[in-house]
Structure 1
Amino acid sequence: MSKKSAILLGTALLAGLLFSWLSAPAPATARFQLTPFPTPTPGEDGRILYTVQAGDTLWRIAAVSGVSLEQLRSLNGLGVDDVLQEGQVILLGLAGPAQPTQGPVATAGTVVAEATATPGVSAGTICVLAYDDLNGDGIRQEEELPVPNGEVSVTERTALFSDTSATTVFLDDGTESFPCFEDIPVGNYNITVAIPEGYNPTTALNVGVELQPGDVTQLNFGAQLSSAAAAEILPVEEGGRSPLLGILGIGLLVLGLGLGAYSFRMARSG
C-alpha cells in the first residue's frame, strides 16, 4: 500500500467514526427538580402553615408560596441569618376563616359581591367561583381564573331547590365564566365544590349560606395544581443529534473500507 493511499484510508476512517459519533443520540438531560412543595391548606383558625422539607430555604418557600422574604421573617420572628430546619413549621399567612356577619353572607373565601335584600322579592342569586389558586394563599386574586372540569352543587336544606353545574360555563357572548344560580328560592343552602383530579383545595370546599330575598352572593373556593400534576405538564428535555451526520459518517466509513480494499489489491498486483 502506498503512503498516499494509507493517508486517504486513515482520513476516511477517522472522518466516518467522527460523524457517526456526532449522529448518535445524546443522553436525555434530566430536568433539575426540587423536593415537591406540598400545597399548604388553611387550618380551622385560618392560619396557613407549612412544614419545612429537606433542601428547603426561606428564599425557595417565598418564591413558591408568593409570600415575600420580609413577610415570612416578620410572621415567624426570623432574623436574616436564621437557617430553617427540616420539620420546622412556619406560618405563611392567614386565609381569613368565615366570620359571622350581620347580613346573610357566608363565605368560603372572599366575597366580592355583597348581598343586598330587596323588599317584595322572594328569590335570590348565588354565584360560585372555583378558582386556580396559583400562590396557594386561599385568597382569590384577579389573575386567578376559574378551574375547569370541576362541579358545583347548590342545595337548599329543606329540598326547596337543588342543582349542579360545571365549574366553568360560557356566557351568551362566548366568554368563559363561572356559574350563577339565579332566581332561586330563599332559604338555607349548602354549597359544595368538587375540584378536578390533580388539584388540592386551598379553602374549605363546603359552606352554608342563608339566602334572603333579593340577595346576590358570590362564594369563592380555591384549588391549586398538585406538585405531581404540575410535573407531568412540564416537558422532559431530550438531547439529539442530526441523522444527516450519521448518514454522512456511514458513507465515509464505506469509502474508507473501499479505499483500503483497493489499495490492498493494488499492493498485491504490484
Structure 2
Amino acid sequence: MKKTPWILALVCALVLSGLALGLIPGAPAQAAPNPQLTNFPTPTPGSDGRIIYIVQPGDTLWRIAAVAGISVADLRDLNFLDPDDVVQPGQQLVLGLGGPAGGEATQAPVATQEPLEPTLTPIPGNGTLCVLLFEDINGDSMRQEEEISLAGGAINISNREATVSITVDTPAHDPNSETADYYCEEGLQEGDYNVSVAIPEGYNPTTALNSPVELLAGDITYLTFGAQAGSAVIEETAPAPESIGNTPLLGIVGLVLLLGGIGLGVYSVWFRK
C-alpha cells in the first residue's frame, strides 16, 4: 500500500500533461481575441466643401484610402504627408472636395457672353480724276502728240450718291502745263463716278461723251474725249440778174434795131439783082 501515493502522483502528472497537450477533453481553450476595427464613419463635406475624415484607432493610410476609393498617393498629396508618416487617432485627413454640407445643390456656373466689339467702318480714302477734251484732227479717236486740248467745251464730274457735281470749262492748251492739258480734280472720295463732256459748237464727237469710272483710294484716273471740227458746206448761188424796168428808151432802141435789120435785108436782096 506504500506505492499508492506514487501511483496517484503519476496519474495526476499524466492528466495534467494531457490537458496541457489537449489530448484529454477538458475546459475549452480560449482563443486570442482578434483586434476589432472600428466602423468607418461616412465623411461629409464641410462648409468649405472639403471632405474631412477623423482617424479612428486601428486605421492606416491603406485602409482609409481603400474605403474612400482613392489611392494612397493621392491621400498623401491631399494631406501633404511623407511616405514615412503614420496617422494617429483623432487626426483629420482631407479625402477630397465636394459640395457644402446639408445636401444643398451646387449651382452650376452660368456662362456669360462677352459683349461683341463693334465692327469698325473703314474710312474711305481719296483719289484724283483727270479729264481731257482734245481736238481729234484725224478723227481716229486716239490722241496723237500734236493733238492739243480743245477749249470752249465743258467737263462735268458727278458721283452716284449725287453728293458731288462739278462743272468746269475745258482748259486751253498750255505748252508748260504739268498735267499735259488735263483738268484734274483732287480729293474725291472713292466711289462710282460719271464723267461727261460738252464739245464746242462746230465740232463733232469722235468718242463717247460720257464714261462711268470707279475711283479707288490713292488712284489717279485719266480720261480722254475727242472732237473734230465739222466740214462746213458753203453753197454758192449765182446772183439773180437785175430786172430792167419797161422804159420808152428801150422801146425806141428796139424799134431802131428792127428797122435796121429790115433795111439790111432789103439792101442785100436788091444788090443781088
Name the TM-score class by shorter chain.
Answer: 0.3 to 0.5
Larger relative helix fraction: 1
TM-score (norm. length: structure 1): 0.38
The structure having more radius of gyration, on CA atoms, is 2
Q: Relative contact order, CA 8 A, sep 6+: which one is greater?
A: 1
TM-score (norm. length: structure 2): 0.37
